[in-house]
Amino acid sequence: MPNIINRTIDFLVIRTKMAKNTSRGLLRAGDIMHTPITVDKGASIRDAAQVMDKNDIGSVLVEDAGQITGISTEEDILKAVMRGIDPDRRKISEIMTGAVRTVGSDTDIDGISGILSKRHIRRLGVTENGDIVGILTAIELIRHYSEHLTTAEGAMQNVVILPQQHSLYDAVTAMTEDNDSVLIREDNNLYIITEKDVVKAIASGLGADTPVSKIMNDVTHTIKFDDDINKAWKIFNEFNIMRLPVTKNGDVIGIVTTRDLLRPYHSSLVTARDIVWTKVSAVTSDASVGDAINAIDPYYTGCVLIVSPASGTRNILKDNIWGIVTERDVIRAIARNVDLEKNVSEIMCDVVHTIDAYDGIDEIIERFVKYHVRRLPVIYKDTSLIGILTVRDILWPYHLHKINAENVMCEPVTAGEDISIKRAAEIMDSKGIGSILIMRNDNLLGIITESDSISVMSEDCP
């Protein structure tokens, strides 16, 4: 096997380290989707609205001779009504979205969360063998977070287990493809190899064909699948470890790491005030149903607040919020052929649940799930409205950018671009760090991490 440890590091500095694709609790899109409801392409817009109303859903798939040709949502119907389209004369196929954005049924929930948040969408089709077999919505994802991410099983990721006769290269390859650690099983004993162990091996000059037994360490602690994640935190802190195999009936089913638990922790640093949409649509309570529908923001909040006539629609106080009209209310109005000239009270919900501006992600998720709502007005100091929060806003992997990096950063260790991989490994090993910044004449060129060292070994060994 080639000796790669003395090569220089310059070709690595342009790499971008991508987050590994973990599977929280091993749950996939297929586990939390719901069965799709379809309508024929010849159905009218009102027909589709009636189907949505009857099934209490926000979308229908449109089919033609048994083939799915598109999807129509509450938002599509709302926009059509706002444009003055007659829901009885026009077909649902005329306003549907032809391309259904989908994910495979085996897509993990982190991947789902990223797509929904990045694309600013509320639902995804779920496919198997090219066919749409389900629909998954943002609120279903939030409900899953609320119900499952309090246990080790809910927070864990996949784990790779190798027999003891494998080499360091085998372990490195498994890490590159699946994980940042590998478990080794020998009889009834369990061992672990991590990125840091690989860095130590490189620093010590060990070859890629070194038996894993030379670098593996005993697994000193495990955690049961139904244990609370607070127990994991206590073990991490007390014993200064970063990974815990998760067991069920004596078998290892996954592994939970400090990184897995840090994501919800960082999200708890984010408050409603940090992520709220501040452009609020509102009409006074003397408005008509048609006025309320036309005032709804169909792109972001999907709702309009109903406020006291005396208060006006600016600088709204909490006590002056009398109701809310959402896209679901509009669907119900169309389905039941409500007269658009009637007062907005005909379709509004007069129970409006709110959230405090300083409440964190956990409190927000709890409120969404408890009241089965998708929007929460955000109130500052129990008096003034500052905006609307939707379920899409709290898909937490993408709120980490709201945290000030200065509060969590550490002093960097730097090196020149001509440093060898072995020397970089020695520095990381001696200082107990996972990365080094690569500099040229005081300018940052890039970064080398433990994972990069592993990748180099993997690429250079056949």
Does the pLDDT of residue 407 top 60, yes or no?
A: no
CA distance 381 to 133: 45
Is residue 356 within 8 Å of residue 377, measured between CB atoms?
no
Answer yes or no: are the C-beta atoms of 35 and 112 closer than 8 Å: no
List pLDDT tens digits, range 6-41. 434 343 333 222 233 334 445 789 988 999 999 999
- The CATH architecture of the domain made up of 272-393 is Roll (3.10)
* pLDDT score recorded for residue 329: 92
Residue 152 and residue 171 in contact, taking contact as beta carbons nearer than 8 Å: no
Q: Which CATH superfamily is domain 10-18+405-460 in?
A: CBS-domain (3.10.580.10)
153-266 placed in CATH 3.10.580.10:
yes
What is the pLDDT, as a whole number, of residue 150? 72
| Separation of alpha carbons 191 and 162, rounded Å | 10
CA distances from 296 to 268, 274, 293, 310, 332 (A): 30, 23, 5, 21, 15
Give me the CATH topology for the region 27-138: CBS-domain (3.10.580)
Do 272-393 and 27-138 have the same topology in CATH?
yes
Give the residue from 124, 80, 128 showing the smallest Cα distance to 106: 128
- What pLDDT score was predicted for residue 3? 44
Residue 368, number of CB atoms within 10 A of its CB: 25
Where exactly are the structural domains of the chain? 10-18+405-460, 27-138, 153-266, 272-393
The pLDDT, as a whole number, for residue 462 is: 53
Provide the pLDDT for residue 264. Answer: 55
For the record, the structure tokens of 149 come out as 């991410």
